[in-house]
Amino acid sequence: MGRVLSRLTDLVWRPTTKSLRGWALASVIANAVIISTGAAVRLSSSGLGCPDWPTCTKTSAVAAHSVGQTTLNTWIEFSNRLLNFPLVAIAGLTFIAFLRYYQTSGRTRKDLVWLSAVLPLGVVAQAVVGGIVVLTKLNPAMVAVHFLLSTAVILTSAVVLHARASALDAATAGSPAPPPARTDLRVLAAVLTAITAVMLAAGTVVTGTGPLAGTTIDSHGHRTTVPRFHFSLQAVTQLHADIGWFIGALAVALVIGLRYSGGSARTVRLGWLVLVGLGVQGIIGYVQYFNHLPAGLVWVHVATSVVVWILVLQLYLSTGTGLPRLTRPAASGGEQGADDRMTAAPPVKTTIP
């Protein structure tokens, strides 16, 4: 046990570029998991399983019986709240590791510190927004903000942090950075990313309009629908699908362009993964709609959208847009007294192509 704690302490307090990459990856995974479990809470009508905040009920800090809620609903919501503790731990340790690297490597790469700081701050912001969601009885606008804050801000920061930490690790190991894609393809990748974000936002409108927004049950057994958007479900679903077809066309154009313009193997591979992911999403979307939105299939659709967003971000970054080009310096630097573990990962110079 002592050896494990010592190893963990080293990974945080005396990080290498490899361990930084690992912490960033852990943050990506942790945020993807919490987003997916949050969707399960919504789709199982468990959003008010714990009707109070920050406690579960007005009389209990942990899962307890609440009028109008089943025991299963209460434990689903309470379990999702418990997942925030390991998420906070991972976010906090990630920030400390990147801060320590900055402090012990000649104070280079401040951008990594700022990106890592978004993670714990974002978790705190999410806790507050989550409380507002509960106290407003699952207001669909607040639910949408809750999802988009997790996806478009926190998860995005974690993915960019991982990409930059990976580039830093590769540069430290002496691996040459792949050449950036052509300018037109980089612009196309940026447009694809922006429209994918719009599609995620449209998806929250569809969910907030549809029958899975949730219900409450009073002490007399009467069901009451939680607030919903007053849109036509058919209209918002059609808009969501149209955006999906547009993204699919952009992805096809981008993959073809990368394939025949000599793009890096990783970028081409990511392009194909995005295209396959969008195809799977489209199939799931149509199947769920024509089967009257079964909750389990809707959850798969939401969870898969998180994976697609991660792949789209990685594709965008792999084209060379928004990612510093890193090269090894002629001589290593660092503060006096830095141990071998730190000097083995010398600071790198950053040049923008």
Residue ending a domain, among 143, 175, 207, is: 175
Which of 144, 175, 206 is the endpoint of a domain?
A: 175
Pair 193, 167 in one domain:
no
72 and 132 both lie in a single domain: yes
Q: What is the mean pLDDT of residues 177-203?
A: 93
Q: Is 343 a domain residue?
A: no
- Does residue 135 sit in the same domain as residue 251? no
Confidence tier at 347 by pLDDT (50, 70, 90) = very low
**Does a structural domain hold residue 286?**
yes
217 pLDDT band, cuts 50/70/90, is low
Q: Say if 351 falls within a structural domain.
A: no
Beta carbons of 119 and 154 less than 8 angstroms apart: yes
Query: Do residue 125 and residue 235 come from a single domain?
Result: no
2 and 29 share one domain: yes
| Radius of gyration from C-alpha coordinates of the chain | 22
Residue 336: count of CB within 10 angstroms of its CB: 4
Domain assignment present for residue 204? The answer is yes
Using alpha carbons only, give the angle 167, 34, 308 rounded to the nearest 5 degrees: 55
Domain span at residue 282 reads 178-324
Q: Which of 43-52, 100-109, 150-159, 320-329 has the lowest mean pLDDT?
A: 320-329
Question: Does residue 169 sit in the same domain as residue 191?
Answer: no
What average pLDDT does the segment 205-228 reach? 71
Q: Are 100 and 15 in contact (CB under 8 A)?
A: yes
Give me the mean pLDDT over the 43-72 stretch. Answer: 79
Confidence of residue 198 (pLDDT cuts 50, 70, 90): very high
- Give the pLDDT of residue 184: 93
Q: Is the pLDDT of residue 90 over 50?
A: yes
Average pLDDT over residues 108-127: 92
The alpha carbon torsion through 101, 104, 110, 114 (nearest 10 deg) reads 50
- pLDDT bracket for residue 179 (50, 70, 90): confident
Q: Is residue 341 part of a domain?
A: no
- Residue 241: CA atoms inside 13 Å, Cβ hemisphere, count? 14
DSSP state of 54: S
Is-contact 244 268, C-beta < 8 A?
no
The DSSP line for 178-237 is PPPPPHHHHHHHHHHHHHHHHHHHHHHHHHHHSGGG-EEE-TT--EEEPP---S-HHHHH
Could you read off the pLDDT of 9-53 as tens digits, one per residue? 888 999 999 999 999 999 999 999 999 998 888 888 787 788 888
Mean pLDDT score across all residues of the chain: 85
Which pLDDT score is estimated for 57? 82
290 and 315 co-located in one domain:
yes
Residue 311 and residue 259 share a domain: yes
Assess whether 164 and 203 both reside in one domain: no
Q: Within a domain: residue 101?
A: yes
| Amino acid code (one letter) for 226 | V
- Are 277 and 310 contacting, i.e. CB atoms less than 8 angstroms apart? no
Average of pLDDT values for 2-15? 84
Query: What is the rounded average pLDDT of the residues 199-205?
Result: 94
* Average pLDDT, integer, range 67-91: 86
Structural domain ending residue among the three candidates 175, 195, 220 = 175
Same domain for 150 and 260? Answer: no
Q: Are residues 2 and 138 in the same domain?
A: yes
If you average pLDDT over residues 191-213, what whole number do you get? 91
| Range 340-351 average pLDDT | 38
Total domain count, the chain: 2
Q: Beta strand pairing status for 325-327 and 223-225?
A: unpaired
Whether residue 330 has pLDDT greater than 50: no
Q: Say if residue 199 is in the same domain as residue 263.
A: yes
Query: Degrees (nearest 5) of the Cα angle 278, 280, 284?
Result: 115
